Amino acid sequence: MESLLFLIFLLALAVASAVGVTADTRDSADWKPTENGRRWRSRTS
Protein backbone atom coordinates (compact mmCIF):
# COMPACT_ATOMS: atom_id res chain seq x y z
CA MET A 1 0.00 0.00 0.00
CA GLU A 2 2.84 2.40 0.81
CA SER A 3 4.45 1.79 -2.56
CA LEU A 4 1.17 2.60 -4.30
CA LEU A 5 0.89 5.89 -2.39
CA PHE A 6 4.50 6.71 -3.23
CA LEU A 7 3.86 6.01 -6.92
CA ILE A 8 0.78 8.25 -6.88
CA PHE A 9 2.84 10.99 -5.21
CA LEU A 10 5.54 10.74 -7.89
CA LEU A 11 2.95 10.81 -10.65
CA ALA A 12 1.35 13.90 -9.10
CA LEU A 13 4.74 15.63 -9.04
CA ALA A 14 5.37 14.70 -12.67
CA VAL A 15 1.99 16.05 -13.75
CA ALA A 16 2.50 19.26 -11.76
CA SER A 17 5.91 19.73 -13.35
CA ALA A 18 4.55 19.13 -16.85
CA VAL A 19 1.72 21.61 -16.31
CA GLY A 20 4.10 24.25 -14.93
CA VAL A 21 2.81 24.41 -11.37
CA THR A 22 6.24 23.84 -9.83
CA ALA A 23 8.81 26.61 -9.34
CA ASP A 24 12.59 26.59 -9.43
CA THR A 25 13.72 27.76 -5.99
CA ARG A 26 17.44 27.14 -6.37
CA ASP A 27 19.37 30.14 -5.10
CA SER A 28 22.92 28.91 -4.78
CA ALA A 29 25.47 31.72 -4.72
CA ASP A 30 27.76 30.02 -7.23
CA TRP A 31 25.18 29.92 -10.02
CA LYS A 32 25.94 32.22 -12.93
CA PRO A 33 23.20 34.54 -14.18
CA THR A 34 21.47 33.73 -17.46
CA GLU A 35 19.74 35.69 -20.19
CA ASN A 36 17.00 33.75 -21.98
CA GLY A 37 18.49 30.50 -20.72
CA ARG A 38 22.03 31.25 -21.90
CA ARG A 39 24.90 31.76 -19.49
CA TRP A 40 25.90 35.37 -19.01
CA ARG A 41 29.59 36.04 -19.57
CA SER A 42 31.38 39.10 -18.31
CA ARG A 43 33.39 41.05 -20.86
CA THR A 44 36.30 41.83 -18.51
CA SER A 45 38.97 39.97 -20.50
Angle (CA) 38 39 40, round 5°: 115
pLDDT at 43 (0 to 100): 63
Q: What is the pLDDT of residue 17?
A: 86
Cα distances (angstroms) measured from residue 17 to each of 13, 35, 43: 6, 22, 36
pLDDT at 36: 72
Residue type, 27: D
Question: Residue 14's pLDDT is what?
Answer: 92
Look at residue 12 and give its three-state secondary structure: helix
pLDDT category of residue 38 using cuts at 50, 70 and 90: confident
pLDDT tens sequence across 5-35: 999 999 999 999 888 887 766 665 556 667 7
pLDDT at 10: 96
Alpha helices in the chain (DSSP H): 2-19
